[in-house]
Structure 1
Amino acid sequence: MSEDVGARPAWWKEGVVVYQVYPASFKDSNGDGIGDLPGLISKLPYLRSLGVEAIWLGPHYASPRKDEGYDISDYKSVYEPFGTLDDCQVLIDEAHSHGLKILFDLVVNHCSDQHEWFQESRKDKANPKRDWFHWKPPKMDENGGMSPRVPPNNWRAEFGGSAWAWDDATDEYYLHTFDVSQPDLKWENPAVRQAIYHDAVRFWLDRGLDGFRIDTANRYSKYTDFPDAPVTEPDMLWQPAGQLMTNGPRSHEYIQEMRKEAFDAYDCFTIGELPSTPVLENILSYISSEAKALSCTILFDLMELDHTDGRYPLMALPWKLSDFKRLTAFGQQLAEPQYAAHALSYLENHDQARSVSRFASDALEHRTVSAKLLATYLLTLSGSIIIYQGQEIGMINAGKDWDIEAEYKDLCTINTWREIKEDAEKNSDPSLLERGREGIQLTARDHSRTPMQWDSSHNAGFSTKEDAKPWTRVMESNKEGINVAAQEDDPESTLNFYRRMLALRKEHKDVFVLGKFDLHDKENEQTMIYTKTSQDGSRVALVALNFTSEPQAFDVPSSLKDKSTGKLLFSTVGGNSEGELEAYEARVILY
């Protein structure tokens, strides 16, 4: 714990680049096919060489792994295949010795049904921990009866089906807004909150942790009358209820209390997820300095642009670049001084498929330049940035030959695919099956959870043993040059482009990290043009991005035409500051 926290400015205030590690898939040190903490420790020099400043480690806690660690059975223990509590302490200390901050996932909207708290809660209705979870009897019919047995409301769980699960032992339902194995904790109970602060927060901050990425931070407060959700899908039994599952009446109170009782005593950076919160005023109510709640937020709207979060959450949707630009501009508002907040941007994480495949082109001839296009976009935005493992080498989605039923492992994918198959059969609609397959091949979370590609060997260098069988399939793209070893000594590689971009971001911090974002040509569906202006107005960077496979016209905005000739900072295709933008070219000019 830092003794002089209040005496110095927060380390993250002027923008920090965070590298997310998905522990099961990063580096396997003992040959069992599962990534682990010693493997991550061995790669800290590599992470430092990139130029990132912090690591966000995905859930490493004890867990049955029904939802890849987001179902925690003990907040103070480590998932055994990942290592030990001692390994975790070594990781924290070694990260610091390499000049890296480290953040853990904080998953406290729900826990695993194997957690001791829930095991006690379900023993009987008189148990002291019964009120630590949301238990409800079946809904009464109009005659006051319970036959047939019906859940308390019509909410659909995020992974499909009812958000309520029946428990035979005590003849009541419990709430699970995600999987049935993830019962929601009852934050309305003060004893629950204190146990969370003790076991899940201060336990790790006392060991030197620098902060948390907070899972579903605005779900803690429930509307305890549990009203039915509006019927938006008439032929579905369970209705999407995002607006009723988030931003409940005590949401701000709980986060402010957690900050006061846990975060504020440490030099702690908090990145909170705020799903179903699309309005600027509501976002600021969580992250402005006046809110005294979160440092910043992970926004969802841009990342949900190409798929639906309704009936089938992985169903692909056509998207427009004008909407991509609009949502970028919306997020960049949070960096403007008048809002006293902090912006954070990302294109990939463990919940998102690979950005090259989604927003540019993963065709062999376009992969590298597409990855550089998206890197330019991301690393010229103001505020903090998240880079996900493998993004820096341009990893792409799994091949179309992957069998969804045999090789996709994510709970959301499995449940969505099952519902799509059932509905396709029930409605004799083979086109639904094909559209569902295409959506999963584009947007499933599985694509980002495959092993990190370190070299072109059989298992991509992920495991120390060549014959080890990784827990999930390795992508063939490691043999096509999408791996660290192939790119390390290639000055034109995606990896070295990320290194240069991260260095440029620091060199021109006044423009890229702290500068004002202004979007130009908002309705153009082929190119994205924006400027970044230093706070004193003395320097301007013009960023021009071609999101198509064809050359596109490019005009300098009129506001810059009176300035002296700008200097081409770089072009991803070796071009100049004038003329058409080549396919997927990114060009940055400094004035």
Structure 2
Amino acid sequence: MKKRVLTTLVMIPFLLFYAFGAEAAEKEEGSWQDELMYFIMVDRFNNGDASNDYSVNPEDPKAYHGGDLEGIIEKLDYIKDMGFTSIWITPIMENEPKGYHGYWISDFKEVEEHFGTMEDAKRLVDEAHKRDMKVVFDFVVNHTGYQHEWLTDPSKEDWFHEESRMVGNSQDQLENGWLAGLPDLNTENPEVKEYLFDAAEYWIDETGVDGFRLDTVKHVPKEFWSEFSDHVKSIDPDFFLMGEVWSEDPRYIAGYEEVGIDSFVDYPFFETATQVFKQPGQSVAELGKVWQRNEAFYEDPHSLGTFLDNHDNKRFTRLANEAKQNPITRWKLALTYMYTAPGMPIVYYGSEVPLDGGEDPDNRRIMNFKAGDEELKQHIEQLAAIRKKFPVLTQGSFEQVIDEGPFGVFKRTYEDEVAYIAINNSKETKSAVLGEVVEGEQLRGLIHDSIVRDNGNGEYEIGLDRETADVYIVEEDTGLNWIFFGVLALVMGSFVAFVVLISRKNKKSQPE
């Protein structure tokens, strides 16, 4: 009890600091660019129902490990408490043996028994919605599992493209070849198209899911995606479609906007951000160039899904370890940028621990909720709170105003809000002078609780320790906040009185 009271008293000044801070404009509702998404591989997250643990072997990285829909439901509050507003989960359709990841589908209209039942899927969406969280299902149309029953059904002989290895990167090869040997569905066939449209409608109607993450988009013709988008939007005009177009060329990815896909996972951001942040000394200007290209090529670049690792690539923790760096330090720096730069942040499950992992399947380790770093988890919570409070961090313009290689400052503007994101990716303390802040204003550092005022020459100098970052909001300089200091004095006086009282009670309880 004493510990709880002490903790509360110590925290009050910090809560007051934010309470008396700048008032932010009310956030617009309904825009996916405002979302913070937590990405979960169902089998590797949390085992909530042991009764569906069929042939589970946690020692085999290519076998089922026991995670299920009930396990996700149990952890929705855990996810929400970190500030996430939506979840994206890997496919839950019935898979053939060893299809723990969900991408070897054997039945497009059944829930995989290892994950639970359709009732569990409905309950997951319902429970998420009760918490004002959205749910995105992974949806596959390019292929089936290796041993799908359709392969031996004479009536469905033309449901697949002719078997061929995928060699080269021609669009014809991408769309007709068998990716990793998986049977490639002939989505040009009207019967196949109708079946997949019906499957999509089935999941929407049955569960009330908010969107699909579309797998392997570039391996399916654009004509299919255009019709698919029209179909799901006819069911729910607000239904969200996020495509995976695995490419480092933003022009190629942007070419799929025309088919009605709302957003894409931003692989060019991923490739650049992981290289910049895995170790100090890398220029942050490369990040600004990614945004400039996105702004030039996309109609809606703010809705792109930004990420630092996923189920197909090495964990960011592993990249930092390979560079002989402290993963916590590197994660904090990278996440600060991702949460405050344009785009919809997507955080892969376990990043808050942070989980380690190499190439697939090592990057899909079982989540360990007991082994975590509170410092990193609290940083994620803090970034989420900051991002939600200030619309400028989700909707504002973006430009680099200070470029000193590893040290850079980015400016965001939205209506009457102005923010500066300062990133020090170097091995030494850095500072910079901002001369464009309007007279009579100040900069409030939201992460390190600092105030920067005019130095008398119309300049504002910000400084950062090595490998740190901060987000500064421009606000009116009202001088000393006497209300704040008055309340602070009252709190500290109460704290001192409490300590004296406890000390006296302890003395009285001691034997003479």
* TM norm. shorter chain > 0.5: yes
Partner of 1:68: 101
**What is the CA-CA distance between 1:358 and the residue it aligns to?**
2.8
In 2, the alpha carbon distance for the partners of 1:88 and 1:521 equals: 48
Partner of 1:568: 445
Confirm or deny: 8 A CA contact 2:282 2:425 kept in the other structure: no
Residue 501 in 1 paired to residue 383 in 2?
A: yes
Give 1:539's aligned amino acid: E
Unaligned runs of 5+ in 2: 1-27, 54-64, 453-460, 475-512
1:88-135 deviation line (CA, Å, top 9, x unaligned): 122122222222111100111111122233332xxxxxx231111111
1:235-278 deviation line (CA, Å, top 9, x unaligned): xxxxxxxxxxxxxxxx1x22110011223321311111122372
**What is the CA-CA distance between 1:560 and the residue it aligns to?**
4.0
Unaligned runs of 5+ in 1: 1-8, 121-126, 137-150, 158-162, 165-173, 222-250, 309-315, 399-440, 456-477, 488-492
Partner of 1:203: 202
User: Secondary structure of the residue that 2:241 maps to in structure 1?
Assistant: strand
Partner of 1:588: 471
Question: Size of the alignment, in residue pairs?
Answer: 419
**Counterpart selection for 1:395 from 327, 333, 354:** 354
Q: TM-score, normalised by structure 2?
A: 0.73
In 2, the alpha carbon distance for the partners of 1:106 and 1:203 equals: 12
Partner of 2:58: none
Residue 41 in 1 paired to residue 73 in 2?
A: yes
In 2, the alpha carbon distance for the partners of 1:292 and 1:543 equals: 34
User: Map of 1:5-404 to 2, 5 A cutoff?
Assistant: 11-31=30-50, 32=53, 33-64=65-96, 65-66=98-99, 68-120=101-153, 127-135=154-162, 154-155=167-168, 176-180=177-181, 182-199=182-199, 201-207=200-206, 208-221=208-221, 251=222, 253-266=223-236, 267-276=238-247, 278-280=249-251, 282-287=252-257, 291=258, 293-305=260-272, 320-322=282-284, 324-330=286-292, 333=295, 342-358=303-319, 366-391=326-351, 393-398=352-357
In 1, the alpha carbon distance for the partners of 2:212 and 2:280 equals: 34
In 2, the alpha carbon distance for the partners of 1:526 and 1:341 equals: 24
- Cα RMSD of the aligned pairs, angstroms, is 3.5
Report which of the two structures shows the higher radius of gyration computed on alpha carbons.
2
Confirm or deny: 8 A CA contact 2:254 2:297 kept in the other structure: no
In 1, the alpha carbon distance for the partners of 2:274 and 2:446 equals: 35
- 1:340 and 1:217, CA in 2 relative to 1: closer, same or farther beyond 3 A? same
- 1:533 and 1:317, CA in 2 relative to 1: closer, same or farther beyond 3 A? closer
**Structure with greater strand percent:** 2
**What is the CA-CA distance between 1:520 and the residue it aligns to?**
3.5
Identity %: 26
**Structure with greater helix percent:** 2
Of 98-107 and 111-120, deviating more is 111-120
Confirm or deny: 8 A CA contact 2:106 2:144 kept in the other structure: yes
User: Secondary structure of the residue that 2:441 maps to in structure 1?
Assistant: coil
Q: TM-score, normalised by structure 1?
A: 0.64
Partner of 2:418: 540
- 1:300 and 1:323, CA in 2 relative to 1: closer, same or farther beyond 3 A? farther
**What is the CA-CA distance between 1:378 and the residue it aligns to?**
1.2
Confirm or deny: 8 A CA contact 2:176 2:184 kept in the other structure: yes
In 2, the alpha carbon distance for the partners of 1:115 and 1:317 equals: 45
**What is the CA-CA distance between 1:27 and the residue it aligns to?**
0.5
Of 367-376 and 186-195, deviating more is 367-376
In 1, the alpha carbon distance for the partners of 2:241 and 2:344 equals: 12
**What is the CA-CA distance between 1:322 and the residue it aligns to?**
5.0
- 1:203 and 1:321, CA in 2 relative to 1: closer, same or farther beyond 3 A? farther
Give 2:349's aligned amino acid: Q
